[in-house]
Amino acid sequence: MTTQINVASKTARAPRWVTFFGPITKFLLAKRVPLGYNGLLTVPGRNSGVPRTTPLAIIDVAGTWWVWSPWGDVNWVQNLRAAGRATVAVRGRREEVRAIELDPSQRVGFFRDVLRPVAHKMRFGPSFIRLVDGVDVDRPVEEAEGRCVFELRPL
């Protein structure tokens, strides 16, 4: 998967299939259908302040939550960065969180110490992440480059 950049605004864009399946995934998650690590992240829009809800993988390891963007600086990343807070909804549980963006060395640690072990515990996990997100979890230094990762802490 390659990152598409909107030249006018410099905002990265997810692949077309993500924007197609996003509303379907959002609907299913809102109805509390379990979809693996996926949950809903609601963030106020950086310009409008209107809540924007995005379905995405919410990695939970030992009670710590992370979200990451395989496609870089997309809209939900910019909104989360601007707001610094969000609401996470996973299987009917809602929680207000503070978002802390990881710096480049911390991102490498996330890919190496969090995402890689999670992927390897799942059947076909590394292959799935490589196919869907275009990320090789066994190359944390290279894959952390240009990707955004946030740690989510309860408010």
Check whether 46 has a pLDDT greater than 90.
yes
**Domain extent at residue 76:** 4-154
φ/ψ of 148, rounded to 5, equals -105, 135
Check whether 18 has a pLDDT greater than 80.
no
As a whole-number percent, the residues of the chain with pLDDT over 70 amount to 90
What CATH code is carried by the domain that includes residue 65? 2.30.110.10
How many domains in the chain?
1
What is the sign of the dihedral through the CA atoms of 71, 72, 76 and 80?
positive
Q: How far apart are CA 59 and CA 71, in angstroms?
A: 17
Among the ranges given (13-17, 21-25, 56-60, 66-70), the one the predictor scored with the smallest mean pLDDT? 13-17
What is the sign of the dihedral through the CA atoms of 8, 11, 146 and 104?
positive
pTM of the model: 0.84
Where does the pLDDT of residue 11 fall: very low under 50, low under 70, confident under 90, or very high at 90 and above? Answer: low
